[in-house]
Amino acid sequence: MAHEIYPLGLKIAGRLVVVVGGGPVAARRARALVEAGARVRVIAPDVCEELSVLAQVSPPGAVELVARAYRAGDLDEAWLVHTATGSPTVDQQVSDDAERARVFCVTAGDASVGSAWVPAVARTALTDDAEVTVAVTAGRDPRRATAIRDAVAAALQSGTLPLRRRRPRIGKVERVSDTRSTSATSAGAVERASGRVWLVGGGPGDTGLVTARGRSVLAQADVVVVDRLGPRALLRELSPDVEVIDVGKTSGNHPVPQDEINALLVQHALAGRDVVRLKGGDPYVFGRGGEELAACREAGIEVAVVPGVTSAVSVPAAAGIPVTHRGVARGFSVLTGHDGAAGVPGGADHTLVLLMGVTRLAETADALVTADRPADTPVALVEDGFGPRQRVTVGTLADIAERAAAVGVRPPAVIVVGDVVRLSPAWAQQAR
């Protein structure tokens, strides 16, 4: 089957492209050309405000405005021409001149007149400073092309398409020598580009609460170092050759100490692999992300953070508890139950969110009772927020430990202390 077009990418940086026309369509074309580095000459008796602004904000020499009608000879030295005048006669003249000059011409008014088409384009920036560009043409049906483009763009952003690089990264390299030789120039020496590390917050465990950036980064990983509370369902979407390292911790059981986790990230990145450290919640909310970032930087590894939805806010929300509410709570504090809660300021109108606090619940509840925070202050325990066994247990500082023991509350669970607990359906049900 013969095809009408031959898809091709053009490098136009520094080359002259002529745009004939001064309206919004011409402005869109000109802006895209400037972004690609072209020298753009706009020829039109009048130009719209967008083109005027573009000429002012673009680098010197990037946009030239010629305030007159198109005439023969305007395509001299041009590599490409776009015409969008709204006049079929003028567009036809530009197309004819381009044909004689052997310059490809894009005609906005009637694609059949020109010799080139502009596709619908989707782009996504990748973690290795590269970019995936998808161009869609659909038989001169621009709306269909745009719909397909948008669907592809959504898949790129969500990380559902295979985004991992297949060729070695080109860039800064470090020399790695054969351990049998002390010479950096020995026959065993090889050059290898260092990989990168991304600390990705996976949210409270529901895959629908991972950010689009988090999914995109995960789709590009060679190695994934995952926590127990990370969104593990995402691991099933990875390519079979992606190495998954489980460093999950449970209460009182830390099989992989933090310094070993830090060393794993550095080791794999130095070996040229792109590493994702997939965590539950947010890397910087009791996730020790700061320690991992410091270890990578100390080793000279490029590292970036992809924030996540913290369980400190999202898990109470799953139970119908807002951590702040007008007239009830003006602020909130997030603590770890491991460090104790004695001396925490604020009364029942200041919400306290405790993470990792189930094992010391009775001790913590006693410590939180003060003159400003009485024993009848409401408390909620939300187990496995957004997970299959989500359950809410409510009580007060005086009796929450007893209630939790009676129903067998177990980690992971988020503890919420304050009057906002009264807003939850679980509190209303208990009251009934």
Q: Is it the case that residue 121 has pLDDT exceeding 70?
A: yes
What topology does CATH give the domain 194-309? Cobalt-precorrin-4 Transmethylase; domain 1 (3.40.1010)
Run of H or E including 304:
strand 302-306
| More confident: 418 or 172 | 418
Other CB atoms closer than 10 Å to residue 20's CB: what's the count?
Answer: 30
| More confident: 173 or 102 | 102
> How much is the average pLDDT of 197-220?
90
Other CB atoms closer than 10 Å to residue 102's CB: what's the count?
Answer: 8
Task: Provide the pLDDT confidence category of residue 172 given band limits of 50, 70 and 90.
Answer: very low
Q: Is it the case that residue 175 has pLDDT exceeding 50?
A: no
Q: Which of 91, 222, 227, 282 is catalytic?
A: 227
Task: Provide the pLDDT confidence category of residue 183 given band limits of 50, 70 and 90.
Answer: very low
Residue 227 is among the residues annotated as catalytic for this protein: yes
Residue spans per domain, the chain:
1-118, 120-163, 194-309, 312-431
**What is the reported pLDDT for 185?**
37
List Cβ<8 Å contacts ≥24 apart for 328-336.
328/419, 328/420, 328/422, 328/423, 329/418, 329/419, 329/420, 332/418, 334/285, 334/286, 334/310, 336/286
Cα separation, 17 vs 19, in Å, equals 7
Residue 249 is among the residues annotated as catalytic for this protein: yes
| More confident: 294 or 189 | 294
**What is the reported pLDDT for 347?**
86
Please classify residue 38 by burial: count the beta carbons closer than 10 Å to its beta carbon, then call 0-12 exposed, 13-18 middle and 19+ buried. Answer: buried
The rounded percent of the chain whose pLDDT value lies above 90 is 60
CATH number of the domain located at residue range(s) 312-431 in this protein: 3.30.950.10
**What is the reported pLDDT for 129?**
63
Task: Provide the pLDDT confidence category of residue 125 given band limits of 50, 70 and 90.
Answer: confident
**What is the reported pLDDT for 338?**
67
- Cβ pair 88, 111 in contact under 8 A: no
Q: Which residues, at least 6 apart from 125, have a Cβ–Cβ distance to it below 8 Å? A: 131
What does pTM read for this prediction?
Answer: 0.68
Cα separation, 128 vs 131, in Å, equals 8
The mean-pLDDT minimum among 162-171, 221-230, 270-279, 355-364 falls in 162-171
Average predicted confidence (pLDDT) for the chain: 87
What SS3 state is found at 201?
Answer: strand
Q: Any idea how long the chain is?
A: 432
Q: Is it the case that residue 171 has pLDDT exceeding 90?
A: no
- Cβ pair 199, 277 in contact under 8 A: yes
Cα separation, 42 vs 281, in Å, equals 51
**What is the reported pLDDT for 243?**
92
For the stretch 390-414, pLDDT in tens is: 999 999 999 999 999 999 999 889 9
Task: Provide the pLDDT confidence category of residue 252 given band limits of 50, 70 and 90.
Answer: low
**What is the reported pLDDT for 186?**
39
The rounded percent of the chain whose pLDDT value lies above 70 is 89
For the stretch 11-59, pLDDT in tens is: 999 999 999 999 999 999 999 999 999 999 999 999 999 999 999 999 9
Q: Which of 206, 249, 366, 419 is catalytic?
A: 249
| More confident: 143 or 305 | 305
Q: 361-368 vs 400-407: helix axis angle to the nearest 10?
A: 160
For the stretch 101-118, pLDDT in tens is: 999 999 987 878 889 988
CATH number of 1-118, picked from 3.40.50.1100, 3.40.50.10440, 3.40.50.2300, 3.40.50.720: 3.40.50.720
Run of H or E including 293:
helix 289-298
